[in-house]
Structure 1
Amino acid sequence: MASKQMKQMLHMNQGQGETSYAHNSGIQIAEQTRMKPLIEAAIIELISSTSTLVPGKMVIADMGCSTGPNALTLVSIAVKAIQDHCFQVQRPPPEVCLLLNDLPTNDFNTVVKSLVMLRQSNEHVVVTGITSGSFYERLYTSGSLHLVCSSNSLHWLSKAPEDLSRNLIPAYDINEDARRQRQHIVLEAYARQFRKDFTLFLKLRAKELVPKGRMVVSLVGRRSDVTSTKFSYLSRTISQILSDMVSEGVIDKEKFDSFYVPVYEPSSKEVREIIQEEGSFSIHEMQLHDPTTDMNNALSTPSKFVNLLRALCEPILVQHFGDVMYEFVSAAERHWGLEGNLLDPASKHQEKAPGTRLARWIRLDYQATRPQEPKPLPPRALPSRLWTPAATTSRRPKPPPSRGPSSRPEIPAATGSRRPWNEAAAPVTAATGTAAVRRKIPAAPGTATVQTQGPRRHLYQGHKLVPWLPLATAEERERGGKRGGGGARVSPESLG
């Protein structure tokens, strides 16, 4: 899937119905609540540091805010932490600017209403705004953010892995033997795409944060000591349900082979390596939590299970397969009946889920001492010996093109004594290497001066090229030898 197409289809289910994200985001709210200590600690450090906080102002951004009741959870925690800390230290709180970001297809209607209520409920100045766009692009001006938050968003990729979509490699093959043979290739392609996306995210946020700014993010992942031999729970579940629909003839196999769930759950080791290699941030703290209990509560019944899948993936499924949600719901309910509950001892998930899937909260500090990228060197100047004023300022008109070897008369050499030409005093042009005449001689009306090699000047008049000799020196005039007739034209016959 192209990146532009992915932006159009990758969003949570909108509205307030049973299958909306607003009514099926209990797991996400629980994860955001656990981020509260990290956000509060970051706020206290920012307010206490005079080098990071612009006097009386703090800008906070939530990237991937989504919609529903949890859209304002992180920024509300930050605002309350600012007010509580400033009250304790007996100082006026700074003016706060809250910026919420998500894809343009996100349902911002309820988010805007919630922002108005949040702004009106605070006595101090709280300015709010919405920025639509992918957080894998530049969103804000350089050095404008103090705190960046992101919850349950970064495991979503910017697009399907390029190595798979370009080479038409299915992510989840119906044939079990073929799936096992390709599984290593598929998982490596997903890992490379995540590394590329997460590295880009860090680079962009480093440009937008103030020096020593803070960032608190959470994403779903797996333990470092577990080898990545299985797909993420969401990807595996969706693929198994769609595979059953292919077997029933509901959807086309070619459509199924070209479908990719853009989700990757990295290990703690992968996350640490990417952060360290990118170099803009230092890891202040990383916490891990097993969300299996929360997932079990959210997926305890077939209807909850189906509604959660629809809230997360219905837009992307409809965009790719068309109107197949009725059949998808039926297949999903059968799948839940076969797989069972995550924590059920008889469940097939028992060997897969507990202890392998983790929620990860990371507190990152922007390093102000990050080495600056070297500036490009200016273009090399040409050597001075290749440049002379005569080569750049000469604007003498060029003679017309020759009409043949017989069209120009042969000029016989002049006779008589001549003043020696000082070759050393004449500048040398870079283009021809010939001596340029330095004495300026007025030309007769209707004539044009033409430069040729050597000390001789010529005049072009009509269709004839005749020589123009230098003026006689004072010494020669005393001897009575006028050369050139004081500037008069000399015919070729007189030089014979």
Structure 2
Amino acid sequence: MEVMQVLHMNGGMGESSYANNSLLQRKVLLTTKPIMEAAVTALFSTAAATFPASLAIADLGCSSGPNTLFAVSEIINIMSNLCKATKQELPEIQVFLNDLPGNDFNTIFSSFLPRFQEKLSEQMKSKNGAWATLSCFFNGVPGSFYGRLFPRESLRLIHSSYSLHWLSQVPRGLEGNKGNIYMSRSSPPSRDFSTFLECRGQELVVGGRMLLTLQGRRNDDSSSKECCYIWDLLAIALNEMVSEGLIEEEKVDSFNVPMYTPSPKEVRGEVQKQGSFSIDCLEVSEVNWSVLDTNFNPNVVSEDGGYNMAKCMRAVAEPLLIEHFGEEIIDEVFKRYRAQLVDAMSKEKTAFVNIIILLKKIT
């Protein structure tokens, strides 16, 4: 599998699109708002007596949909409030939206960005003086963030949410992963996160901040239930179809998700080993699989939770499945997957573990 070519969320605005099935990811973004505010505030507190005339920020793994510009909107609002409080002009802002080449950048720039800019303009006009003249420039940057994307010391703030658990390739050592689609035992560690830190260490200015949120796990077992259960249930649906002769067994045995969910200990260790950053904050949080659980109550599961979770996962995993199995089986796979999700969510606590880390560039 050429991961860089096939790893992307479902594009467009259809029923199975990521744009219409990413409420859970929005919840994750909402949980990081206080840390984002701390990051932007710290960024300006370490700047010169006056704010810089221009500021470049990047969102890595931006995907396509209403969440794409959510973090950018929060950053601009925080900066606007800081500038208003100190009676300074808001800097010109250059925004870089990055994802792999298969991402649906067209929908971002044709549908979501015009509405965002219109709304942003209205918000700025409601403010006084300099805030009504905000200049914000958007750029699409297709490419892997496991390589260099920007010139040296050109960025002041980097944000990435729910992207860094995706790898540049399927983990090594899974040749005998029979019947599973996620690692069922320990695999040699990937260098991807270290490479990511090295690249961003070159692109951020000293004192710049980087806020990362990724799926993870609390314990040291890379094949533990808390990080692979969502994929185990999909594997059950696929193996059911194998037993009925609808999918070849070899097809399931050779399919592995290019994903790794680290522990906080691993993340901290990689940051310290790489050496370009200090850690301002490292937190672990949970978000329930039930996307209708608006109060983040882990004990509440909507009767529609399995359906919504299946749609969320379809928006994420469908391109990978189509590439490997073909399009004909997809509806049946997700019909069975939904049944597995409903059953699991009715019997036990089901949640994603998230690692949130705020880094400061120090060298």
Corresponding residue SS for 2:187: helix
What's the C-alpha RMSD, in Å, of the aligned pairs? 2.5
CA distance in 1, matches of 2:262, 2:157: 24
> Are 1:53 and 1:146, in contact at CA under 8 Å, matched by a contact in 2?
no
Moved more, 49-58 or 151-160: 49-58
Unaligned runs of 5+ in 1: 369-496
Classify 1:86/1:290 alpha carbon distance in 2 versus 1 (closer, same or farther; 3 Å). same
Measured in 2, the distance between the counterparts of 1:101 and 1:62 equals 6
Question: Which of 213, 223, 229 is the matching residue for 1:218?
Answer: 213
Structure 1 residue matching 2:98: 3-state secondary structure: strand
Normalization by structure 1: what TM-score?
0.64
1:41-52 alignment runs, 5 A limit: 41-50=38-47
Shift of 1:267: 1.2
Deviation, 1:265, is 1.7
Are the aligned partners of 1:46 and 1:53 in contact in 2 as well (CA < 8 Å)?
no
Aligned partner letter, 1:135? F
1:43-67 CA distance string (max 9 Å, x none): 2222233369984011010000111
> Structure 2: which amino acid aligns with 1:161?
P
User: What does 1:100-179 align with in structure 2 at a 5 Å threshold?
Assistant: 100-113=97-110, 114-120=112-118, 121-122=120-121, 123-164=133-174, 168-170=175-177, 172-173=179-180
Which residue in the other structure is 1:286 paired with?
Answer: 282
Matched residue, 1:420: none
- Tell me the secondary structure at the aligned position of residue 170 of structure 1: coil
**One-letter amino acid of the structure 2 residue matched with residue 313 of structure 1:** A
Contact kept? 2:168, 2:258, Cα under 8 Å? yes
Of residues 10, 16, 21, the one that matches 2:18 is 21
Distance 2:3 2:337 in 1: 24
Question: Does the 8 Å CA contact 1:232/1:263 hold for their aligned counterparts?
Answer: no
1:379 maps to: none
SS of 1:282's partner is strand
Letter in 1 for 2:307: S
Whether contact under 8 Å (1:52, 1:213) holds in the other structure is no
DSSP 3-state at the match of 1:29: helix
What is the CA deviation profile of residues 250-270 of structure 1, one whole-angstrom value per residue up to 9, with x for unaligned ones?
111111111011122211111
Partner-residue secondary structure (3-state), 1:98: strand
1:304 aligns with 2:308: yes
CA distance in 2, matches of 1:234, 1:267: 17
1:199 maps to a residue whose letter is S
Match for residue 441 of structure 1? none
Report the counterpart of residue 96 of structure 2 in structure 1. 99
1:38-117 to 2 correspondence within 5 Å?
A: 38-50=35-47, 55-113=52-110, 114-117=112-115
What TM-score, normalized by structure 2, do the two folds share?
A: 0.86
**Preserved CA contact (<8 Å) 2:51 2:91:** no
1:341-397 CA distance string (max 9 Å, x none): 2xx3xx1x44xx46xx422211111112xxxxxxxxxxxxxxxxxxxxxxxxxxxxx
For 1:326, the aligned partner's letter is D
Moved over 4 A (4+): 51-54, 225-228, 293-296
Q: Work out the CA distance in 2 between the residues paired with 1:299 and 1:218.
A: 26
Letter in 2 for 1:233: Y
User: 2:4 aligns to what?
Assistant: 7
Distance 1:83 1:321 in 2: 49
Distance 1:265 1:306, change over 3 A: same
Aligned partners of 1:221 and 1:266 also within 8 Å: yes
| Residue 245 of structure 1, CA deviation | 1.4
Matched, 1:198 2:193: yes
CA shift at 1:115, angstroms? Answer: 2.6
Q: Does the CA-based 8 Å contact 2:194-2:270 persist in structure 1?
A: yes
How far apart, in 1, do the equivalents of 2:44 and 2:252 lie? 52
What's the secondary structure of 2:247's corresponding residue?
coil
Task: Quote the Cα distance in structure 2 between the aligned partners of 1:233 and 1:248.
Answer: 23
Q: Hey, what's the Cα distance between the residues in 1 that align with 2:168 and 2:177?
A: 18
What is the deviation of 1:70? Answer: 0.4
Alpha-carbon contact 1:52-1:212 (below 8 Å) kept:
no
- Distance, in Å, in 2 between the alignment partners of 1:290 and 1:217 is 15
Cα distance in 1 for partners of 2:261, 2:74 equals 26
What is the SS of the residue equivalent to 2:87? coil
Seen in structure 2, the aligned counterparts of structure 1 residues 51 and 115 have a Cα distance that, compared at 3 Å, is same
Q: Does the CA-based 8 Å contact 1:52-1:211 persist in structure 2?
A: no
Decide whether the 8 Å contact of 1:171 with 1:260 is kept in 2: no
Pair 1:329–1:358, CA change in 2 (3 A): closer
Give the CA deviation at 1:74: 0.6
Distance of 1:273 and 1:131 partners within structure 2: 29
Identity of aligned residues (%): 37
Does residue 331 (structure 1) correspond to residue 336 (structure 2)? The answer is yes
CA deviation after TM superposition for structure 1 residue 331, in Å? 2.1
Alignment of 1:176-255 (within 5 A): 183-184=184-185, 187-189=186-188, 192-193=189-190, 196-224=191-219, 228-230=223-225, 232-255=228-251
Alignment of 1:263 onto 2:267: no
Structure 2: distance between partners of 1:145 and 1:20:
31
1:85-129 CA distances to partner (integer Å, 9 max, x unpaired)? 001001111111111001111111231133334345333111111
1:320-469 map, 5 Å: 320-323=324-327, 324-337=329-342, 339-341=343-345, 344=346, 347=347, 349-350=348-349, 353=350, 357-368=352-363
Are the aligned partners of 1:119 and 1:127 in contact in 2 as well (CA < 8 Å)? no
Structure 2, unaligned runs of 5 or more: 122-132, 294-300
How far apart are 1:148 and its partner, in Å? Answer: 0.2
Task: Work out whether residues 184 and 223 of structure 2, in 8 Å CA contact, stay in contact via their aligned partners in 1.
Answer: no
Matching residue's letter, 2:187: E
